[in-house]
Amino acid sequence: MQNVTSLAEYRATPPSIFFNRRELDQILRVYGQMVADGEWRDYAMADGAERAVFSVFRRASEMPLYRIVKCPKWAKRQGAFAILAPGNQILKRGQDLETVLRFFERKRLNVVD
């Protein structure tokens, strides 16, 4: 038997937050560079009523190294985008995703032979 939802119930459910095409392109560009450098190997995406999350893994069986979060509720304070470490420590936060993603450029430049 199919679960049928009334139109009123459908309209009452909040829309899911997710990355738009431009934001996802920016994230995947950084992800591709880090994969090419051998730093990252897997990712996962999640959407929800309050936030969207792009998690980055070194190995699929581990906890995420970083989580790139879009939370519109945070926009009025310090920005809707953030990069979180495994312990929910905020590493970078801002209004512009491109600026926030520059955090990973510094990580790439710190490699010393």
Per residue in 67-83, pLDDT (tens digit) is 999 999 888 888 999 99
Q: Which residues of 81-93 are buried (b: 16+ CB within 10 A; e: fewer)?
A: bbbbeeeeeeebb
- Residue in 84, 67, 74 with CA at minimum distance from that of residue 31: 67
27 residue type, one letter:
I
The answer to whether the beta carbons of residues 100 and 90 sit under 8 Å apart is no
The residues spanned by each domain of the chain are: 14-104
pTM surpassing 0.85? no
Residues 29-48: tens digit of each pLDDT: 999 999 999 999 999 999 98
